[in-house]
Amino acid sequence: MDSRSIETLVQKARAGDSVAYSRLVDLFYKRTYLLCLSMVGQVALAEDLAQDVFLNGLLKLGQLKKPASFGAWISTMARRLSLNRLREQKVNVSVDADWPAPESREAEYRDLRDRVQRLPLELRAPLMQYYFDEQDVARVAETLGVSVSSAYSRIRTATQKLYEMYEHED
Amino acid sequence: MTPCKTTQESILDWLIGSQQEPLAAPAQAHLEGCACCRRYRDGLLHQGSELADLSQAVDITATAAQAKAQSACLALSQTLRRSESPFRSAARSPRFLRLAVAAVLLLLVGLIFVHSRVRFSSVSFARMQRAVNQVPWLHIVLKGDHPRYMDLREVWAGFDVGALAAKRTEGSIEFVDLQLGREYQYAPKQGYIQVEDVRLERFVYDLSSPLAFLQSVLHNFKAEGARLSHGSAQYQGRVVNVMTATYAYPHGTCQLELIIDPETHLLCAGKETWASPGRQERTTEIEVYYPDQGPMSIYDLGVPAMARVHGGKPFSFFIPKETQKGDQE
Mean pLDDT value of segment A49-55: 92
Cβ–Cβ < 8 Å for B147, B282: yes
Tell me the chain B residues in contact with residue A156 when contact means C-beta distances shorter than 8 Å.
12-13, 16
Mean pLDDT value of segment A52-61: 91
Rounded CA gap, A29 and B176, in Å?
76
Tell me the chain A residues in contact with residue B40 when contact means C-beta distances shorter than 8 Å.
163
Tell me the chain B residues in contact with residue A12 when contact means C-beta distances shorter than 8 Å.
none
Mean pLDDT value of segment B234-238: 80
Task: Find the residue in A nearest to B58 (Cα).
Answer: A100
Residue among B271, B260, B255 nearest B233 (CA): B260
Pairing of strands B173-177, B182-187: antiparallel
Percentage, residues of chain B above pLDDT 90? 3
Mean pLDDT value of segment B263-268: 78
Burial of A149 (0-12, 13-18, 19+ CB in 10 A): exposed
- Chain A closest-CA separation from residue B105 CA (Å): 25
Q: Please name the member of A33, A59, A160 whose beta carbon is closest to the beta carbon of B62.
A: A33
Cβ–Cβ < 8 Å for B19, A163: no
Q: What are phi and psi of B93, to 5 degrees?
A: -80, 145
Mean pLDDT value of segment B10-18: 81
Tell me the chain B residues in contact with residue A124 when contact means C-beta distances shorter than 8 Å.
none
Tell me the chain B residues in contact with residue A98 when contact means C-beta distances shorter than 8 Å.
none
Determine the residue type at B30: H
pLDDT band at B118 (very low <50, low <70, confident <90, very high): very low
Inter-chain touch A22–B16, beta carbons under 8 Å:
no
Inter-chain touch A25–B88, beta carbons under 8 Å:
no
Q: What are phi and psi of A110, to 5 degrees?
A: -65, -35
Judged by DSSP in three states, B41 sits in: helix
Tell me the chain A residues in contact with residue B96 when contact means C-beta distances shorter than 8 Å.
none
Rounded CA gap, B34 and B29, in Å?
9
pLDDT surpasses 80 at A159: yes
Task: Find the residue in B nearest to A35 (Cα).
Answer: B62
Inter-chain touch A162–B47, beta carbons under 8 Å:
yes
Q: Please name the member of B54, B60, B72 whose beta carbon is closest to the beta carbon of A51.
A: B72
Q: Does B179 touch chain A (CB under 8 A)?
A: no
Q: Please name the member of A18, A50, A160 whose beta carbon is closest to the beta carbon of B78.
A: A18
The number of beta carbons lying within 10 Å of the beta carbon of residue A19 is 12
Burial of B105 (0-12, 13-18, 19+ CB in 10 A): exposed
Highest mean pLDDT of the ranges A44-48, B196-200, B220-224: A44-48
Rounded CA gap, B261 and B248, in Å?
27
pLDDT surpasses 90 at A9: yes
- Chain B closest-CA separation from residue A78 CA (Å): 14
- Chain B closest-CA separation from residue A22 CA (Å): 6
Q: What is the pTM of this model?
A: 0.51
| Higher pLDDT among residues B328 and B102, named by residue | B102
Rounded CA gap, A90 and B118, in Å?
57
Listed in sequence order, the residues at least 6 apart from A146 whose beta carbon sits closer than 8 Å to its beta carbon are A154
Q: Please name the member of A16, A25, A101 whose beta carbon is closest to the beta carbon of B54.
A: A101
Rounded CA gap, A46 and A52, in Å?
10
Q: Please name the member of B12, B55, B70 whose beta carbon is closest to the beta carbon of A131.
A: B55
Q: Does B43 touch chain A (CB under 8 A)?
A: yes
The number of beta carbons lying within 10 Å of the beta carbon of residue B223 is 11
pLDDT digits (tens, 9 = 90+) for B55-107: 887 888 788 888 888 888 887 877 776 665 454 555 555 455 555 666 666 66
Ramachandran bin of B236, using left for φ above 0, alpha for ψ from -120 to 50, beta for the remaining angles: left
Among A61, A77, A108, A131, the residue to mutate for chain B (most B Cβ within 10 A):
A131
Rounded CA gap, B164 and B204, in Å?
11
Inter-chain touch B70–A109, beta carbons under 8 Å:
no
pLDDT digits (tens, 9 = 90+) for B140-171: 998 887 666 567 889 999 988 888 999 887 78
Cβ–Cβ < 8 Å for B77, A57: no
Mean pLDDT value of segment B36-63: 85
Q: Show contacts of B165-173: CB within 8 Å, 24+ apart.
A: B165/B294, B165/B295, B165/B298, B165/B301, B167/B301, B173/B298, B173/B301, B173/B302, B173/B303
Inter-chain touch A25–B13, beta carbons under 8 Å:
no
Orientation angle between helical segments B25-33 and B3-16, nearest 10 degrees: 120
Mean pLDDT value of segment A24-51: 90
pLDDT surpasses 70 at B19: no
Residues in a beta bridge with B257:
B244, B271
Residue among B9, B275, B271, B23 nearest B144 (CA): B271
Rounded CA gap, B202 and A132, in Å?
97
Give ipTM to 2 decimals.
Answer: 0.85
The A-side interface with B (CB below 8 A) comprises 15-16, 18, 21-22, 25-26, 29-30, 33-34, 37, 43, 46-47, 50-51, 54-55, 58-59, 99-102, 108-109, 112-113, 116, 127, 130-133, 137, 152, 155-156, 159-160, 162-163, 166-167
Helix spans in B93-148 (H): 96-115, 125-128
Highest mean pLDDT of the ranges A54-68, B11-25, B179-193, B241-255: A54-68
- Chain B closest-CA separation from residue A104 CA (Å): 10
Residue among B190, B195, B186 nearest B168 (CA): B186
Rounded (5°) CA angle B281-B287-B289: 170
pLDDT band at A126 (very low <50, low <70, confident <90, very high): very high
How far from the centroid of its chain's Cα atoms is residue B251's Cα? 34
Judged by DSSP in three states, A145 sits in: coil
CB pairs under 8 A between A and B: 121
Mean pLDDT value of segment A101-120: 81
- Chain A closest-CA separation from residue B81 CA (Å): 7
The number of beta carbons lying within 10 Å of the beta carbon of residue A169 is 8
Q: Does B199 touch chain A (CB under 8 A)?
A: no
